[in-house]
Amino acid sequence: MSEADFNKVVDAFLEAQNKHIGEVIVPNVGAYPRQPGLGWYAQVFNEFVTTDLIRHYADAMGDRNPLWRSNDYARGTIWGGIIAPPTFTDSIAASWPGAGRENRVGELKFKLESALAGARRQWFQAIRPWDRFRIVDKYLGLVERKPKQPRPYRMFIDTVQRKYINQKDETVAVVDCRQSVLAFPSAELLAGMSGAGRQRRKLTDEERDAIYRGYDTETRRGAQVLFWEDVAVGEELKPLVVGPVSVWDVVAFFAALAGEPTAFDVLWEMLKLEPTHAYLDPEVNAWKVPGEGHFKDGAGITGSMTGGYAVAPGPQIDGLICRMLCNWMGDYGFLKMLDTQYRTVPILGDVFRSKGKVTNKSIEGDEHLVDLELYCENMDGLVLVPATARVRLPSRTEL
């Protein structure tokens, strides 16, 4: 295919896809029966919030904060009871729903590769046990991103806006769920994009022991109030270091979603409706989902993304960045916004080191706000996820 022909068919794809901008869909609860035409992750994982589900999510983040766990502790806070970590929204419905683009535009004349690109999450109130949620999705479309250097593909960001609405018809959270979409003129060029440069590295005894010491010395502000007046621009947060991430850590994350994985007959029903979300395992000659690439090397699309290494979940990193923020802001703070971007695919064996600093303070109406820049890097300083956040803190004039 010539460059001109490639650009022509991609432009047609872009136009066809963006005709759906503004479409609203209310996903079903559960993976089965599937709603034809939706992306793989469109369903609601869990309709009801329980203390058990909150605890499972906290376990998946290694988060021992008693505000998520202990009724006795939480009753004495400003919340009056257990609440969920902000990024718990992923246990209600994914921050990576996809847009079902293959089903919308029919057969494509070029090759697509997609991956999670991060999410912009906004919260308006806390999530509590016994809340009941419904999800409303609105398609925001494809936007092209021009690379700084010549590339053998065209890149787009595909976005679905997902609203989390509780039993009182209140919008508790809004998440702009983003995917990167790469369009290649040929399968050969796509195959040439292998991420073979990633390598696992064995930790030294000193590196390993430092991580475990960090677990034993983690500090949380908790009931100690962090006042807006006491925060300084340039102030750095205490880093949060976890890892090296293992298959067991990843299993804990998917268990916390409690509804994303399916098996046997139900899995087959899903694959039939979206065959592009499947690969033929040559070892056993059976159809499987690329999600297996989170648990073992060489599965799914790990070859093109990492050179074969199993992939750690980006949204789990989001939860760890959120954990660091909650440790810093304490029980009286409220996380209003967290915007993460997935820049490098994390692999099993990576250490996740989250860091952050205060970049701005402001007052809007009656809210005292702090803006932060954050990022998660691996043990070799490779930035995996840059992020920004906005936190509401109490003022000394309020308490």
Average pLDDT over residues 134-155: 90
Q: For residue 192, what pLDDT is reported?
A: 59
Model confidence band, residue 189 (pLDDT cutoffs 50, 70, 90): low
Q: For residue 285, what pLDDT is reported?
A: 94
Question: What are the domain boundaries of the chain?
Answer: 1-49+84-193
DSSP-derived 3-state class of residue 204: coil
pLDDT in tens, 361-374: 999 999 999 999 99
Burial class from Cβ neighbours inside 10 Å (0-12, 13-18, 19+) for residue 83 reads buried
> What's this model's pTM, rounded to 2 decimal places?
0.94
Average pLDDT over residues 19-32: 90
Query: 235-238: which pairs have CB atoms within 8 A and are 24 or more residues apart?
Result: 235/357, 235/358, 236/355, 236/356, 236/357, 236/358, 237/324, 237/325, 237/327, 237/328, 237/355, 237/356, 237/357, 237/372, 237/374, 238/324, 238/327, 238/328
Tokens of 24: 């609203």
Q: For residue 37, what pLDDT is reported?
A: 64
Average pLDDT over residues 20-26: 92
Does 103 score more than 60 pLDDT? Answer: no
Cite the beta strand spans of 97-239 per DSSP E. Answer: 111-123, 134-145, 154-165, 171-184
Model confidence band, residue 342 (pLDDT cutoffs 50, 70, 90): very high
Mean pLDDT over each residue of the chain, to the nearest integer: 90
Reported residue count of the chain is 399
Does 40 score more than 70 pLDDT? Answer: no
CB atoms within 10 A of CB 24: 10
Q: For residue 153, what pLDDT is reported?
A: 86
Q: Do 39 and 104 contact (CB within 8 A), yes or no?
A: no
- Of 88-102, 128-142, 202-216, 310-324, the poorest mean pLDDT is in 88-102
CA dihedral (341, 52, 164, 362) in degrees, to 10, reads -60
DSSP-derived secondary structure letter, 212 = H
Average pLDDT over residues 124-130: 97
Does 142 score more than 80 pLDDT? Answer: yes
Q: Do 236 and 352 contact (CB within 8 A), yes or no?
A: no
- Of 6-10, 184-188, 232-236, 364-368, the poorest mean pLDDT is in 184-188
Model confidence band, residue 86 (pLDDT cutoffs 50, 70, 90): very high
3-state helix vs strand vs coil in the chain, percent to 5: 30, 30, 45
Model confidence band, residue 326 (pLDDT cutoffs 50, 70, 90): very high
CB-based contacts of 81, cutoff 8 Å, min separation 6: 71, 74, 75, 128, 129
Model confidence band, residue 159 (pLDDT cutoffs 50, 70, 90): very high
Q: Which of 205-219, 279-293, 294-308 has the highest mean pLDDT?
A: 205-219
Average pLDDT over residues 89-93: 97
- Of 108-122, 162-176, 191-205, 288-302, the poorest mean pLDDT is in 191-205
CB atoms within 10 A of CB 103: 14
Topology of the domain comprising 1-49+84-193: Thiol Ester Dehydrase; Chain A (3.10.129)
Model confidence band, residue 182 (pLDDT cutoffs 50, 70, 90): confident
Does 288 score more than 70 pLDDT? Answer: yes
Tokens of 168: 């009182």
